[in-house]
Structure 1
Amino acid sequence: MPKVTFLPLNKTVIATEGDLLIEVARKHDIFIDAPCNGSKTCGKCKVRISSGEVYTQKNLHITQEEIDNGYVLSCDTRIKSSDITVELINIESSALNNMQIQSISTERDQLIFENSRKQLIDNDMEFGTYVKKDYIEIGLPNLDDNISDFDRLKREMRTKLGYSQVFMRLPMLRKMPFILRNGDFKVTVTHIPRGKRTTVVNIELGNTLDRLFGIALDIGTTSVAASLVDLYSGKLIGRASAGNAQMKYGADVINRIIYSTKKEGLDKLNEAIIKDTINPLLQKMYKEADVDMEEVIAFVASGNTTMTHLFLGVYPDFLRMEPYIPAFLRAPFIQAGQLGLEVNPETFIYIAPNIASYVGGDITAGVLASYIWADSQNTLFIDLGTNGEIVFGNQDFLMTCACSAGPAFEGGEISSGMRAAPGAIEEVKINDLFSAPIIKIIGEKSPKGICGSGIIDLIAEMFKNKIIDRRGKLIKDNGNPRIKVDEHGIGSYIVASKEEWPDINEDVCITEVDLDNFIRAKGAVYSGAATLISSLGMSFSELDRVMIAGGIGNSLDIENSIIIGLLPDIPRDKFSYIGNSSLIGSYLTLMSEDARKKMECIASQMTYIELSVYPSYMDEFVSACFLPHTNTDDFPSLSSLLG
């Protein structure tokens, strides 16, 4: 059987003749970036065959020069009978930067979370955990008092704490005899009360009343963010994020749903999110904060409808087929032990309720955190993540829709795109038509790619400097040395070249295909918002505020976003960025039963509209696929730029 050696990992695996190269890599946990999940449309799974022969085909994503040097698309290449050596391209920028765990400074986050907590209290909602801990000294058993351990514990909790009924599940029952005796029957009991009834979820040696922790989690399609919270004070004691390891199976939810239908596909996707993404995040936070997983006893997660299905291992394929029915909108409480999450196995997992197939619990949590529901102002809430979800409303009504923006805002399906991680270009300024752009890089000295906010800046700057026209096509006859054209006639603009940045292996660039993808993504968001508002007989001029949430980050430039037609041309002081609203909503729900009830209320009150049933939507979308829009009257402040 042929052997496949992957460099620079120096990992050799056994394959079968006819195997698809990308599937060989996936089978052996080797990451190859494939946002389109092998549909041959993105060109990001490019590798180099340095020795041996393969079955492959010519593709528009690979130049003749690259073909001559052994480059192939791994999604369009099959194994022959001989051994081969495969060089992974840009493994540092694609794999490590998308997958590595980053600790996040909690100082700024603490202020955001504290402000959310203050707003919650200002709206007459209680803030504080529902989990209780009590230290109990239980009388030692003897021949005269020989009732069972469980009865002895229940007796103490009845007489000293006032509970009429005490429950315990099997895993806890198995641990209890040893803990009681090792602690000389002096233990701290963690339990979840409901009136006079309570359920014991943990027993610890001695007095540990000062230690009680929970997890707030945002399961994004591209990125996963987690916070470790002190349940007594509500303070963040840890925060980390990482790329969603499911990226290896596709950048967007549709490609992952399709992959879930393959043999063992659903199990692989479930393992990727829990074993390969969430658990490493938890381990890192525990280590840095000196917390034991058994001390983590509360857990709230939010994510879009597809992500929550994959998180629970629930078959999601019916989400993408008419009439688009999910298996669930509100998930039951689930014990962590059933999912293999590295928290106390008795912990109940609460998942923010979904609204529809393509509007999930991340939006419900985001609306909770935005406090739209408590304000009379007409508010447009836009989540600029991998999936474009929009909410419009106030304290009297909430309307929502989803638009097929795709992964472009998180760098997906963009040649040099990446999520907002170290090495990503997050800001771009072009002062001279022929000189290198001025760029700001996240956390490192050299650029490895460009994230969503950087792409918005870049397109706006290219448009202002007449490097591209209103269709997003490069103006190739102006003699700009930073514009290159390949053998297929597809142009690209070099943002950062290998000559300018010796530490990078490949130019950071944006191609005309990338520009088209991004303009379609921004057009989907703008047209979705316009259709949602017009469905109520209103217009952008009637907005009191626009709140931007999602992974695109604080570097989002509002002016540039308006220039490219992503956001409406209204007074700039109406715009604000509220951070990862999904994570904030999970945090509030973790710390407040009132917040959880309000979230359930929001989910039941939100009205979902299906954009495809509105005849005007497609016309609006087509009009929005220009810079900034075909109807320039909607962008009066840009009149001088547009001529």
Structure 2
Amino acid sequence: MIKVLFRSHDKEVYCNKGELLLDVARMADIFIDAPCNGNVSCGKCKVKLLNGKVDTEKTRHISDDEIKQGYVLACNSKVVSDIEVDVPSKLSSSMYGMKIEGGGKEKDEAIFNRAKKIAENHNLKFSTNIRKKYIELSEPTLDDNISDVDRIQRYVRHHLGYNEIDFRLDILRKIPILLRESNFKVTLTYVKKKNKLTIIDIEPGDTGESLYGIAIDIGTTSVVVCLVDLVEQVLIDKASSGNAQIKYGADVINRIVFATKKNGLDELHKAIIHDTINPLLHSIYEKNNINRDDVISVVASGNTTMASLFLGVYPDYLRREPYIPPFLKSPKIMGENVELDVNPSAYVYLAPNVASYVGGDITAGVLSAGIWASEENVLFIDLGTNGEIVFGNQDFMMSCACSAGPAFEGGGIRCGMRASCGAIENIKINPVTFEPKLGIIGECDPIGICGSGIIDLICQMILTGVIDRRGKIQKELNTPRIRFDEHGIGEYVLAFKDEYGLENDITVNEVDIDNFIRAKGAIYSGASVLLESLGMDFSVIDKVYIAGGIGNSLNIENAITIGLLPDVEREKFQYIGNSSLVGSYLALISRDAKNKLEEIASQMTYVELSVYPGYMDEFVSACFLPHTNIENFPTVKDLLNV
């Protein structure tokens, strides 16, 4: 066995000779950012070899200077002797402390209340079928010697009006001792269904009426949980973190591929439940002094792949033509079935999927956005790790998914990172000196650039003439911020290493710009084709709703300038927050909203862009700044004087 010491984490593990360093790190539960899941295409998993040897190959991702410093790619290095490794803090911490969304509780409540008001205005009632009831049972005697369960059932029939009760084995195991220890005075937590009452929990004494639910947005990159008071129907608290599945790939395709490997599906399921959601639940329970057994209802939403991995369902056929999802509606499940740290009998509901790449996060988003009730034409764009789009109104809804990749989360960009402390999130470039002014998350030194920062940067670069409309850096500009390598590939320096004490300069080059242009082109062309499929264009749009983590920091004007969003009146744009989470919240506190979710999923028409005639032509046209047809962007045309 070979010893691997991760000096940065003070952790020592042993492995077999020839194992990949990335796999060894995963085995040691050390997070190393590897968006491409180890196929040597992203170059993000750079680590520093302090002592020992690895069997590695030179790649374009490691410069000669970095090789001299001892850097290798963890995914491309086999352990052949005892080694010591340093994992840069940027790689190990970017998943944590992520800026999921901003604005504070007041802004959250405004977004949640807006969605609730839309639902109420369209006759959706807010009530649940879960109740708590304190009961006092007569104690058994020789003359009244019916079973404990029959005693409870008799009370329920006479006082609550239900002829039948149902419960699980673990409840039955609690009943005999609990009844006697509590002098037959207990509190039932139950679900009402027609003429049957299903007991979820039984507790000694009068525990009051406190009941809680959890709404969850299972994003590919980040996960957010909300604690909700089901009695008062109010949001109590929220917690968020990166999705621990990130270590197996930044996008759904890489995770699906990992799921096909030995124990891969179990590892992914463990990552989302035990390494992500349950720790968030623990933190929110502790902060609010909540007993997990009082959490008796859960509504979760995520894309089709995330929903499959949440349940531990094999997802591989999602990525293979003809792209068949394993399910659209999930079976009835309880907390213990998926190992969630809630009441074991808590009902867990997954928002229904529409197709292979339009999942429950979008049906929940459409519910919260109110498209289903709108008389106006609404374009809904969810800008996350995946790009999903819905267009419609109360009469119809069309949807599609775009292969944008992880660019909006910093993936595919050499110095890209997720929106966490140290990420450059907004930029201004001086048009004379070409010097940048950086806005950095956490008001600390920069370590990389996130999605909103990349949008600002590309916009500023084209407005100041640093790049042309193809995304190529101009060679004639006299500034140390612009330089070219031996292959003629240009790059712009956002931060020199000497400025901030970095190991390397923070730069964006023409390859990075091209990757991002492709991502923004996918979003714009997807929206364009979706409307075209109905014989319409962007002129018919009354409102544009932007959802997703990046939306909170998104500069709409800059996004239009680079051709990410359509050039329509700015007042039509509105950021609606984490619409997936808000939709889950609505379904948690309203049976009517849950039924509406099912209706939305069944009524939404899915357009598969990969086989749609003319989509590739539109995509290629959109891979330009802002578009090959500048007439589609009249305000940008004036801005660029073309």
TM-score, reference length from structure 1: 0.96
The answer (yes or no) to whether the contact 1:99–1:244 under 8 Å persists in 2 is: no
2:593 to 595, 609, 614: 595
| SS of equivalent residue, structure 1 residue 392 | strand
- Map 1:43-62 onto structure 2 (within 5 A): 43-62=43-62
CA drift at 1:224:
0.5
1:94 equivalent in alignment to 2:87: no
- Counterpart residue type for residue 602 of structure 1: I
Give the whole-Å Cα distance in 2 for the aligned partners of 1:102 and 1:180.
48
Greater displacement, 436-445 / 29-38: 436-445
Give the whole-Å Cα distance in 2 for the aligned partners of 1:269 and 1:642.
50
Give the whole-Å Cα distance in 1 for the aligned partners of 2:411 and 2:422.
15
Give the whole-Å Cα distance in 1 for the aligned partners of 2:559 and 2:449.
16
CA drift at 1:554:
1.6
| SS of equivalent residue, structure 2 residue 549 | coil
Give the whole-Å Cα distance in 2 for the aligned partners of 1:627 and 1:486.
24
CA drift at 1:117:
1.4
Aligned to 1:611: 609
Greater displacement, 177-186 / 577-586: 177-186
Aligned to 2:336: 337
Superimposed CA distance per residue, residues 588-639 of structure 1 (whole angstroms, 9 cap, x where no aligned partner) = 0000000011110000000001112222100000010111011111111112
| SS of equivalent residue, structure 1 residue 554 | helix
| SS of equivalent residue, structure 2 residue 551 | coil
| SS of equivalent residue, structure 2 residue 151 | helix
Aligned to 1:638: 636
- Counterpart residue type for residue 97 of structure 1: S
| SS of equivalent residue, structure 1 residue 263 | coil
Change (3 A) 1:488 1:95: farther
Give the whole-Å Cα distance in 1 for the aligned partners of 2:14 and 2:547.
45
| SS of equivalent residue, structure 1 residue 500 | helix
Give the whole-Å Cα distance in 1 for the aligned partners of 2:170 and 2:510.
58
CA drift at 1:208:
2.3
Give the whole-Å Cα distance in 2 for the aligned partners of 1:617 and 1:203.
57
- Counterpart residue type for residue 509 of structure 1: T
Give the whole-Å Cα distance in 2 for the aligned partners of 1:444 and 1:266.
39
- Counterpart residue type for residue 511 of structure 1: N
CA drift at 1:469:
1.5
CA drift at 1:101:
7.5
- Map 1:81-120 onto structure 2 (within 5 A): 82-89=81-88, 91=89, 93-100=90-97, 105-120=104-119
Aligned to 2:200: 201
The answer (yes or no) to whether the contact 2:6–2:84 under 8 Å persists in 1 is: yes
Greater displacement, 564-573 / 6-15: 6-15
CA drift at 1:506:
4.5
Superimposed CA distance per residue, residues 398-427 of structure 1 (whole angstroms, 9 cap, x where no aligned partner) = 001111001111222322323333333322
CA drift at 1:209:
2.7
Give the whole-Å Cα distance in 1 for the aligned partners of 2:65 and 2:363.
50
The answer (yes or no) to whether the contact 2:166–2:199 under 8 Å persists in 1 is: yes
- Counterpart residue type for residue 45 of structure 1: C
Aligned to 1:328: 327
Greater displacement, 185-194 / 440-449: 440-449
Give the whole-Å Cα distance in 2 for the aligned partners of 1:596 and 1:139.
39
RMSD value, Cα: 1.6
- Counterpart residue type for residue 55 of structure 1: D
CA drift at 1:159:
1.1
Give the whole-Å Cα distance in 1 for the aligned partners of 2:24 and 2:485.
31
Superimposed CA distance per residue, residues 442-488 of structure 1 (whole angstroms, 9 cap, x where no aligned partner) = 33433333222221111111111111121112223312212244455
- Counterpart residue type for residue 586 of structure 1: S
Give the whole-Å Cα distance in 2 for the aligned partners of 1:334 and 1:362.
18
CA drift at 1:62:
0.8
1:267 equivalent in alignment to 2:292: no
- Counterpart residue type for residue 202 of structure 1: D
Greater displacement, 391-400 / 467-476: 467-476
CA drift at 1:437:
2.2
- Map 1:173-184 onto structure 2 (within 5 A): 173-184=172-183
- Map 1:78-477 onto structure 2 (within 5 A): 78-80=78-80, 82-89=81-88, 91=89, 93-100=90-97, 105-434=104-433, 436-477=435-476
Give the whole-Å Cα distance in 1 for the aligned partners of 2:507 and 2:635.
30
- Counterpart residue type for residue 605 of structure 2: T
Greater displacement, 42-51 / 443-452: 443-452
Give the whole-Å Cα distance in 1 for the aligned partners of 2:444 and 2:320.
46
The answer (yes or no) to whether the contact 2:214–2:227 under 8 Å persists in 1 is: yes
Give the whole-Å Cα distance in 2 for the aligned partners of 1:303 and 1:354.
9
CA drift at 1:109:
0.9
The answer (yes or no) to whether the contact 2:97–2:421 under 8 Å persists in 1 is: no
Give the whole-Å Cα distance in 2 for the aligned partners of 1:331 and 1:444.
43
Aligned to 1:622: 620
The answer (yes or no) to whether the contact 1:456–1:564 under 8 Å persists in 2 is: yes
The answer (yes or no) to whether the contact 1:126–1:593 under 8 Å persists in 2 is: yes
The answer (yes or no) to whether the contact 1:106–1:236 under 8 Å persists in 2 is: no
The answer (yes or no) to whether the contact 2:225–2:238 under 8 Å persists in 1 is: yes
- Counterpart residue type for residue 15 of structure 2: A
| SS of equivalent residue, structure 1 residue 98 | coil
Superimposed CA distance per residue, residues 496-538 of structure 1 (whole angstroms, 9 cap, x where no aligned partner) = 3333334x55443323222111110000000011001001110
CA drift at 1:207:
1.9
| SS of equivalent residue, structure 2 residue 16 | coil
CA drift at 1:436:
4.0
Give the whole-Å Cα distance in 2 for the aligned partners of 1:102 and 1:169.
41
The answer (yes or no) to whether the contact 1:8–1:88 under 8 Å persists in 2 is: yes
Greater displacement, 606-615 / 491-500: 491-500
- Counterpart residue type for residue 421 of structure 1: S
CA drift at 1:201:
0.2
| SS of equivalent residue, structure 1 residue 477 | coil
- Counterpart residue type for residue 408 of structure 1: A
Provide the aligned length of Structure 1 versus Structure 2. 639
The answer (yes or no) to whether the contact 2:98–2:418 under 8 Å persists in 1 is: no
The answer (yes or no) to whether the contact 1:430–1:436 under 8 Å persists in 2 is: yes
Greater displacement, 172-181 / 291-300: 172-181
The answer (yes or no) to whether the contact 2:97–2:420 under 8 Å persists in 1 is: no
Change (3 A) 1:181 1:107: farther
Give the whole-Å Cα distance in 2 for the aligned partners of 1:516 and 1:558.
21
| SS of equivalent residue, structure 2 residue 388 | strand
Aligned sequence identity (%): 58
Change (3 A) 1:452 1:465: same
Aligned to 1:20: 20
The answer (yes or no) to whether the contact 1:434–1:481 under 8 Å persists in 2 is: no
CA drift at 1:35:
0.4
CA drift at 1:489:
4.2
Change (3 A) 1:471 1:123: same
Aligned to 1:544: 542
- Map 1:472-491 onto structure 2 (within 5 A): 472-491=471-490
Change (3 A) 1:215 1:433: farther
- Counterpart residue type for residue 610 of structure 2: S
Give the whole-Å Cα distance in 1 for the aligned partners of 2:351 and 2:603.
14
Change (3 A) 1:144 1:422: farther
| SS of equivalent residue, structure 1 residue 99 | coil
- Counterpart residue type for residue 29 of structure 1: D
Give the whole-Å Cα distance in 2 for the aligned partners of 1:623 and 1:27.
45
> Unmatched 5+ residue regions in structure 2?
none
| SS of equivalent residue, structure 1 residue 447 | coil
| SS of equivalent residue, structure 1 residue 553 | helix
Change (3 A) 1:177 1:485: farther
Give the whole-Å Cα distance in 2 for the aligned partners of 1:481 and 1:616.
43
Give the whole-Å Cα distance in 2 for the aligned partners of 1:182 and 1:414.
63
- Counterpart residue type for residue 62 of structure 1: I
| SS of equivalent residue, structure 1 residue 552 | helix
The answer (yes or no) to whether the contact 2:421–2:444 under 8 Å persists in 1 is: no
| SS of equivalent residue, structure 2 residue 265 | helix
Aligned to 1:573: 571
Give the whole-Å Cα distance in 2 for the aligned partners of 1:474 and 1:307.
38
CA drift at 1:433:
4.7
